[in-house]
Amino acid sequence: AQSVSQHNHHVILSEAASLELGCNYSYGGTVNLFWYVQYPGQHLQLLLKYFSGDPLVKGIKGFEAEFIKSKFSFNLRKPSVQWSDTAEYFCAVNAPDSGTYKYIFGTGTRLKVLA
């Protein structure tokens, strides 16, 4: 069965610090990978996605993620965080060849950026 692990449940950073959030998945077949962000009181918004091609994916708001197939990882990075990045971040996976396009989500990482 598919599963997604996000190892950091709570992260606190100062503004301008660099960010890396870990995401590992378990599934032997082809996967599509996503990072979503949920700002307080708002719905999930897509930050970036990987379907195929260049494993380094650039998203919105200066975020990027790198797909490392050998490590089953899709870590999210941002070189310099801002106070407005305070939110919860979810990694998600789906398996397009499984017959269902449901997402499997990680448990989320709550990021707090101190001004």
Partner 1 sequence: NAGVMQNPRHLVRRRGQEARLRCSPMKGHSHVYWYRQLPEEGLKFMVYLQKENIIDESGMPKERFSAEFPKEGPSILRIQQVVRGDSAAYFCASSPGTSGAHEQFFGPGTRLTVL
Residue 27 makes contact with partner 1 by CB under 8 A: no
Residue 40 makes contact with partner 1 by CB under 8 A: no
Among 25, 34, 35, 67, binds partner 1 (CB under 8 A): 34
Query: What's 97's DSSP letter?
Result: T
Among 68, 107, 112, 114, binds partner 1 (CB under 8 A): 107
Q: Write down the least CB distance from residue 99 to partner 1, Å.
A: 8
Round to whole Å and give the CA distance between 78 and 95. Answer: 26
Residue 15: CB atoms within 10 Å: 13
With a CB cutoff of 8 Å and minimum separation 6, the contacts of 91 are 4, 6, 21, 23, 25, 33, 34, 35, 74, 76, 105, 106
Q: Contact region for partner 1 (CB under 8 A) — 15-23, 54-62, 77-85, 90-98?
A: 90-98
Contacting positions for partner 1 (CB under 8 A):
6, 32, 34, 36, 42-46, 49, 51, 90, 94, 96, 99-108
